[in-house]
Amino acid sequence: MSVYTPQTIEEAVELLATHPDAMLLSGGTDFMVEVNFNHRKPTEVVSTKAINELKVWDVDHSSHTVFIGAGVTYSTIEATEIAEVVPALAEASRTVGSPQIRAAGTLGGNLGTCSPAGDTLPVLAALEARIVIASPGSHREVAFADFMVGAKKNSLRSGEMVVGVSLPIVRGWQGYAKVGVRNAMVISIASACLVRDDVDDSVKVALGSVGPTIIRAHDAEAWWKDQTVPRSKEMFAEFGARCALEAKPITDHRSTADYRRHAVKVLCARLAARSSSR
Ligand SMILES: Cc1cc2nc3c(=O)[nH]c(=O)nc-3n(C[C@H](O)[C@H](O)[C@H](O)COP(=O)(O)OP(=O)(O)OC[C@H]3O[C@@H](n4cnc5c(N)ncnc54)[C@H](O)[C@@H]3O)c2cc1C
């Protein structure tokens, strides 16, 4: 196996373009599991480890945006100013694996794998993140909704890699919650992120592990906006039920479709209630 260790993004994408079979390796927490189980047999690997440009993050209060490099780990997201300005992303990061996985695993790797159970992905969907992508000599940006195109499928083209993610700093409450078979070291059975914007009291909700892609509960969001009565317990329950109607869960080795739908209902009602109890 040939392992390349480029120092810059440009070198990395040149390598990907000239070695079409080469696979990107970041923290290796997904990649190496696949290699160990013989699901992936790489002959050429491009490691991102030495690319410092991918490990940067920046909070820009004047433009109300945060940029997080693809090589930023979960433990960095949890422990820096990122956690203050995008708290839902920090909450999601805290639920990933163990401290060892969070020290190695990266945001770019979560996007590379693009599993519907990826914990950061509902947050990126609810915040309408833009994914910054590099290829030799150019950069492009896509909305998260156009980036994730199926279960473990993203819209990266040959020779491209994720450079980072651009997120808005929203004035209002945001939170992430997930259900699994235990409290830690668990892949979600269902997850949800809710972002409430104080400016117009709108909400954005994204659901994980209940469809081939992350699902935005657009109908429930619109219903929330139409409500003129004061927010109440009944309203949160109704909102949760409406979010569950938009889930497209399946039954698999982790859970049943019915339980997943029920979990979405409970998670979304709770997130809505928390958003109102500030
Ligand atoms: C024990 C264990 C527990 C886990 N628990 C969770 C969990 O609770 N929640 C969760 O979401 N995940 C979990 N994971 C999965 C994994 O940790 C995450 O998906 C992590 O974000 C992967 O990042 P990485 O840097 O290790 O990526 P890698 O394993 O290096 O790469 C993953 C994929 O992304 C591609 N890739 C890497 N970098 C880029 C880039 N810059 N641009 C484009 N493609 C890229 C790779 O080619 C590969 O296909 C767990 C894994 C393990 C082993």
User: Which atom of ligand 1 is nearest to 32's Cα?
Assistant: 29
In which residue are the tokens 């139409």 written? 226
For residue 106 and ligand 1, the question of a CB distance below 6 A is answered with: yes
Max CA distance (Å), the chain: 63
Q: How far is the CA of 30 from the centre of ligand 1 (A)?
A: 4
Q: Is 267 helix (H, G, I), strand (E, B) or coil?
A: helix
Q: Name the residue at shortest CA distance from atom 1 of ligand 1.
A: 97
pLDDT per residue as tens digits for the range 217-269: 999 999 999 998 888 999 999 999 999 999 999 999 999 999 999 999 999 99
Residue 76 Cβ < 6 Å to ligand 1: no
Task: Report how far residue 35's alpha carbon sits from residue 135's, in angstroms, rounded to the nearest whole number.
Answer: 26
Q: Distance between alpha carbon 157 and the CA centroid of its chain, in Å? A: 20
| Amino acid sitting at position 67 | F
Rounded to the nearest integer, the mean pLDDT of the chain is 97
Q: Is 125 in the pocket of ligand 1 (CB under 6 A)?
A: no
pTM above threshold 0.95: yes
46 DSSP β-pair partners = 4, 24
Tokens of 217: 């509960």
The CATH number assigned to the domain with range 2-168 reads: 3.30.465.10
Does residue 278 surpass a pLDDT of 80? Answer: no
Domain ranges, ordered by start, for the chain: 2-168, 174-276
DSSP 74-96: HHHHHHSHHHHHSHHHHHHHHTS
Give pLDDT tens digits for 16-40.
999 999 999 999 999 999 999 999 9
Are the C-beta atoms of 94 and 75 separated by less than 8 Å? no
CATH domain 174-276 topology: Enolase-like; domain 1 (3.30.390)
Cα-to-chain-centroid distance, residue 38:
26
The pLDDT of residue 183 is: 84
* Cα–Cα distance for residue pair 117/188, rounded to 1 Å: 6
* Chain segment 98-137, per-residue pLDDT in tens: 999 999 999 999 999 999 999 999 999 999 999 999 999 9
Indicate if the pLDDT at residue 184 is higher than 80.
yes
